[in-house]
Amino acid sequence: MKILVFGAGPLGSLLAARLFQGGHEVTLLARGMRLRDLKRHGVVLRRWPTEETESVRVPVVGMFLSEDDYDLVLVVMRKNSALKILPLLSMNKKVPAFLFLMNNAAGPGAFIDALGKDRVMMGFPGAVGYREGHTIMYLNGSPDRPAEIIMGEIDEGIATHLGKIAQELGKGLNVKAVIEPYMDAWSKYHVALLFPSLAPALYLCGNDNLRMSRTRDALVLAWRGIKEGFSVLKRLGYPIRPKYLKRFLFMPEPLAVYLLRKLIKNPRMEIAMVRHAEVIRDEIQQLNTEFLDLVEQSGMFTPTIRFLIDQFNKKTQPLPDGSRSIRLRWSEILIPVLIICLIVLVLLYIN
């Protein structure tokens, strides 16, 4: 398959290299210093935490032209950047399919308007990494931890051509293509999980995951933001995707905050969250604006989300390290326990 990867950031570079190694005719589009680095060094990949390093000589170009002929264009970049290149992409009438891999809460409307419904697919790059100089530090994209490409149709379901493209992408080295039948819902829940909740809470801790793990107030705010976001989407009728997120809706707050603390302390968060958050403030603002539109549509009261977004936009001072002023909702544990005890007592009395 002849593929253009539009976007030479960490994940675009990683996917271009792995698809090229899998035998596809891949070209990576880059500009400026990044283009010069790629011509000189190739795509340099360094695995975390083993420090294994390799250089993959993926062909590179500096422009996308109206007469360019590819079987597929993968657009791997931030949502706000992708919107800016839509006029350029729309000038090309030869490419039959564009797969946009990014965070997205607003849905595919802008992409359909620019390129037509038949040529647009939405997805997400299920890989983690960041760029350090000309080197890409990556967490997944190896034999034991493949890089995922999550993709789906504009409408719910799976079309034949989507299955064929997924099959081809799955031939990439250490790449796993996953078809999601409810891609728009999946994208919205992913945004709710991270951007109006975890991301601003992390910024309230100086973008320091270890400090956040010590600061219970930030963990509580993040959790309440997640629950509010999920409730908004549920009110609007979006099915919970992936399905395992359903457990979040019923988890008692004290337990959720404890588990969130354990997650945030994981050393992988340095790559999965902290390094990424350092350079995507503009994307977070874009996605938070999109999610607030969903909040307005739902008519729900979301005080935590609005507080977190307001603090993020104003670049307020971090919370005191280790602050614990917000009271946990222990009733979410105590009330179910009391009900169970009452049921047991009634059963014992009846017997």
Tell me what pLDDT residue 345 has: 64
Tell me what pLDDT residue 322 has: 96
Give kind and range of the element (H or E) at residue 115. Answer: helix 109-115
Asked whether residue 155 falls in the same domain as residue 277, the answer is no
Q: Sorting pLDDT into bands at 50, 70 and 90, what band is 277?
A: confident
Asked whether residue 195 falls in the same domain as residue 299, the answer is yes
Asked whether residue 202 falls in the same domain as residue 167, the answer is no
Q: At which of 131, 158, 181 does a domain end?
A: 181
DSSP 3-state assignment of 192?
A: helix
pTM for the predicted model, two decimal places: 0.92
Q: Does some domain include residue 145?
A: yes
Number of domains in the chain: 2
In terms of residue numbers, what domain contains 170? 2-181
Tell me what pLDDT residue 28 has: 98
Say yes or no to pLDDT of 218 above 60. Answer: yes
Scored b (16 or more CB within 10 A) or e, 115-142 reads beeebbbbbbbbbbbbbeebbbbbbbbb
Average pLDDT score, the chain = 93
Across 81-92, average pLDDT: 97
Asked whether residue 210 falls in the same domain as residue 296, the answer is yes
Q: Does some domain include residue 199?
A: yes
* pLDDT digits 0-9 by tens, 125-183: 999 999 999 999 999 999 999 999 999 987 754 455 888 999 999 999 999 999 999 99
Tell me what pLDDT residue 338 has: 58
Asked whether residue 39 falls in the same domain as residue 123, the answer is yes
Q: Does some domain include residue 349?
A: no
Asked whether residue 26 falls in the same domain as residue 168, the answer is yes
Q: Does some domain include residue 79?
A: yes
Q: Does some domain include residue 348?
A: no
Asked whether residue 12 falls in the same domain as residue 75, the answer is yes
Tell me what pLDDT residue 351 has: 64
Q: Give the domain CATH number at 147.
A: 3.40.50.720
Tell me what pLDDT residue 156 has: 57
Asked whether residue 64 falls in the same domain as residue 175, the answer is yes
Q: Does some domain include residue 43?
A: yes
Tell me what pLDDT residue 120 has: 94
- DSSP character at residue 279: T
Q: Does some domain include residue 351?
A: no
Asked whether residue 99 falls in the same domain as residue 228, the answer is no
Q: At which of 126, 147, 181 does a domain end?
A: 181
Say yes or no to pLDDT of 348 above 70. Answer: no
Sequence-ordered strand ranges (E) for the chain: 2-6, 25-29, 43-47, 53-56, 60-61, 72-76, 98-101, 120-126, 129-132, 135-138, 147-152, 175-179
Tell me what pLDDT residue 300 has: 97
Across 325-343, average pLDDT: 75
Q: Does some domain include residue 35?
A: yes
